[in-house]
Structure 1
């Protein structure tokens, strides 16, 4: 049974031990972001977003290391998604529920 998002201890969360579940979220790119053009696309609403691969993972994610290949140039949406905050914990809980349902 997954741990509720609000009860997961922030101190135990680390991007280095995560499955990069946030890298499956749509990341809006703002005009002042310095993201390489080849990683950008437009969504159904015409907003500029990070390109995702056919399987839903961000195109900037290194699939072997689960690390961002443009970390220093990642968009503000990614910078603002703070490790261990309530959004992070909620997404981790949601990802675990989805993974558990596939098992």
Structure 2
């Protein structure tokens, strides 16, 4: 079974631009949506994302919707625990491509570390 992993110095998931995620209301509670919107900076990136060091400044305290956990993905996307790993990998590939491009160093690192390692 494929195993999802986050790669350091990526941060694609920290690009929160609401116009690129038009279905937010479908998977966030009203309270989570308010919190999400409060985290979006003018440039579409999370205000808690340190772009220079490419790190989350609130990683240990980040909201539940920022965490890749079976129960979170089940609640938000109705993804079963058995489907979570491949779903999360596919989400990362799609998001990295949309933010950095399919030939970016971030994509190369993700494919090498996660996708090829699970082939």
User: Normalising by structure 1, what TM-score?
Assistant: 0.52
Cα distance in 2, alignment partners of residues 29 and 70 from structure 1: 21
The structure in which a higher percent of residues are strand is 1
Post-superposition shift, 1:52? 1.5
Closer/same/farther in 2, CA of residues 30 and 62 from structure 1, 3 Å limit? farther
Counterparts of residues 9-48 of structure 1 (less than 5 Å): 14-18=6-10, 20-25=11-16, 47-48=33-34
Conservation of the 8 A alpha-carbon contact between 1:23 and 1:57: yes
Q: 1:79 to 1:29 in 2, by over 3 A?
A: farther
Query: Judging changes above 3 Å, is the alpha-carbon distance between structure 1 residues 78 and 29 closer, same or farther for their aligned structure 2 residues?
Result: farther
- Provide the rounded CA distance (Å) in 2 between the counterparts of 1:77 and 1:58: 13
Is contact 1:30-1:75 (8 Å) kept?
A: no
Tell me how far apart the structure 2 counterparts of residues 24 and 87 of structure 1 sit (CA, whole Å): 13
**1:58, 1:29 → 2: CA distance?**
19
1:88 aligns with 2:92: yes
| Residue segments in structure 2 that go unaligned for 5+ positions in a row | 19-23, 70-83, 105-119
TM-score (norm 2): 0.47
Distance 2:51 2:30 in 1: 25
The change in CA–CA distance for 1:30 and 1:90 in structure 2 (over 3 A counts) is same
Aligned residues: CA RMSD: 3.6
Among candidates 45, 52, 61, match of residue 40 of structure 2: 52
Number of aligned residue pairs: 76
Cα distance in 2 between the residues matched to 1:79 and 1:30: 18
